[in-house]
Amino acid sequence: MITRTGVTVAGSAVILLLAGAWADSPEFVILGFACVMALLVALTWLLVRPRLSVVREIDPVRVEEGAVVHAMLTVTNIGRRRSTPSVAVETVDDSRVTVPLPSLAVSENFETVYTLPAFRRGRYVIPPVTLDHADPLRLFHSGRTGGRESVLSVYPRVHHIDPLPLGGPRDVEGPTSANSSHDGVAFHSLRAYQPGDDWRRIHWRSTARTGELMVRHNVVPNEPRHLVILDTSAKPYSGSSFEEAVRVAASLCVAAERVGYPVACGTTADLEVADGEAAALDLLSGVQCSAVDRGLPSLNDVLREVVSTGERVALSVVTGQADHDQLMELAVLRMQFPAVTLVHIGQADVGALPGVVTIGAGTSAEFEARWNQLGRP
């Protein structure tokens, strides 16, 4: 592909040759042929394309918004001759990063680490690196891709907040299931002895009855699951308040996971939830508000799908400036959950709902301060 410089040289060649013929000026003709020769030499140079293999690694692949992301590029000359200097080009969102590559001997490697542009929240598919090969005068250039595409998840900024209210202390002798974590203090069932089991857990009465060593299978009791629902309808938000609400939802998820409680995150736009901190942050990385999303009126449908009958769930709902009639539905839902929390973002002064922990803040940073102050004496 010809560059702007190449177009200028080609245009100059035509003008000089025509001017030399019209004015019978050998100087103009010589200059015109010099431009033509430069173009021919550049094309010949371009034909000698280096054969390079490219490996690009991005670390880490999941980062908080605003964090520094590094990429490591490894280039190897797999051709039969020494490669000419070239340039590797990264295209990230709307930004471009150029990495100069030196001349490499046969089978020689070149490694370099560079910083990618700061990212906004989102899920980015970064295309393969483009190797830009050009002549020394930059009259022509050609590009080909190398390596593989990479996926980068940029999750929202997380504030350090206290854990969600559970509606009571942990129950160390609470309900259990086969999926509960092992080595707790709650008795779940009897099972056959396995090498390495503690002899103190042998149930001698069952052992005598069955003729086989039987041990108590103790587990960690099931804890209330923290369910964080983000209102993704467009109506309650204005300006940057939706981004602030996403940060609040992420902070609530991380706070629960930090103290060992199971956590799940969902939106009013989907009848599925992401279980665990990593999955929740991935969900919140790409979430967007929508004008067709019903918002809080769809909360009943979401909870009916993701909450099992009899399951203990501490519910937290993050929204913007919601209508009072929609909020009254949360007061009705309060009887189904051990704890319900409502967070308004973009609205500092909010009215309280019966049995619902309600907090309002203009930004996620203001929410952090008010939330931690609320939970501390």
Could you give the 3-state DSSP secondary structure of residue 213?
coil
pLDDT given at position 376: 57
Q: How confident is the model at residue 248 (pLDDT cuts 50, 70, 90)?
A: very high
Which of 57-61, 136-140, 278-282 bottoms out in mean pLDDT, i.e. has the lowest?
A: 136-140
What is the per-residue pLDDT across 79-131, written as a single tens digit (0 to 9) for each?
A: 888 888 888 888 877 778 888 888 899 989 999 998 887 678 988 888 888 88
**In the chain, % of residues over pLDDT 70:** 87
What is the per-residue pLDDT across 195-205, written as a single tens digit (0 to 9) for each?
A: 877 777 777 87
What is the per-residue pLDDT across 28-60, written as a single tens digit (0 to 9) for each?
A: 888 888 888 888 887 777 777 788 888 898 888
How far apart CA 42 and CA 40 sit, in angstroms, is 5
Mean pLDDT of 188-211: 77
State in words which class domain 52-155 has.
mainly beta
pLDDT given at position 171: 44
The β-bridge partners of 89 are 98, 130
How far apart CA 365 and CA 281 sit, in angstroms, is 18
When the pLDDT of each residue in the chain is averaged and rounded to a whole number, the result is 81
pLDDT given at position 167: 47
Higher pLDDT, 241 or 376: 241
pLDDT given at position 244: 94
pLDDT given at position 180: 43
Higher pLDDT, 349 or 101: 101
Q: How far is CA 66 from CA 94, 159, 244, 347, in A?
A: 16, 14, 14, 25
Mean pLDDT of 260-267: 87
pLDDT given at position 189: 61
The number of CA neighbours under 13 Å toward the Cβ of 246 is 27
Q: How far is CA 357 from CA 170, 223, 376, in A?
A: 19, 20, 14
Which of 97-101, 142-146, 173-177 has maximum average pLDDT? Answer: 97-101
Q: Is the pLDDT of residue 2 over 80?
A: no
pLDDT given at position 217: 65
How far apart CA 177 and CA 236 sit, in angstroms, is 40
The β-bridge partners of 145 are 130
How far apart CA 341 and CA 325 sit, in angstroms, is 17
pLDDT given at position 184: 44
How far apart CA 263 and CA 273 sit, in angstroms, is 10
pLDDT given at position 33: 87
Instruction: Tell which residue, 81, 98, 79, has the closest CA to residue 141.
Output: 98
Q: How far is CA 141 from CA 11, 117, 173, 330, 339, in A?
A: 18, 25, 71, 62, 64
Q: Is the pLDDT of residue 185 over 50?
A: no
Could you give the 3-state DSSP secondary structure of residue 320?
coil
Mean pLDDT of 247-256: 93
Mean pLDDT of 167-172: 44
Mean pLDDT of 320-340: 76
pLDDT given at position 58: 87
Between 277-286 and 241-258, two packed helices, what is the crossing angle to 10 degrees?
Answer: 170
Q: Is the pLDDT of residue 221 over 70?
A: no
Q: Is the dihedral of CA 194, 195, 197, 203 positive or negative?
A: positive
Mean pLDDT of 265-285: 90
pLDDT given at position 203: 74
Domain 225-374 grouped into CATH 2.30.110.10: no
Task: Kindly report the length of the chain.
Answer: 377
Q: Is the pLDDT of residue 170 over 60?
A: no
Q: How many Å separate Cα 186 from the centre of its chain?
A: 37
Does this model's pTM top 0.75? My answer is: no
Q: Is the pLDDT of residue 169 over 70?
A: no
Mean pLDDT of 187-200: 72
Alpha helices (H) along 309-361 = 324-333
Give the domain ranges of the chain: 4-47, 52-155, 182-219, 225-374
Which DSSP symbol is given to 2? B
pLDDT given at position 246: 95
Higher pLDDT, 214 or 280: 280
Is residue 163 within 8 Å of 261, Cβ to Cβ? yes
How far apart CA 318 and CA 244 sit, in angstroms, is 10
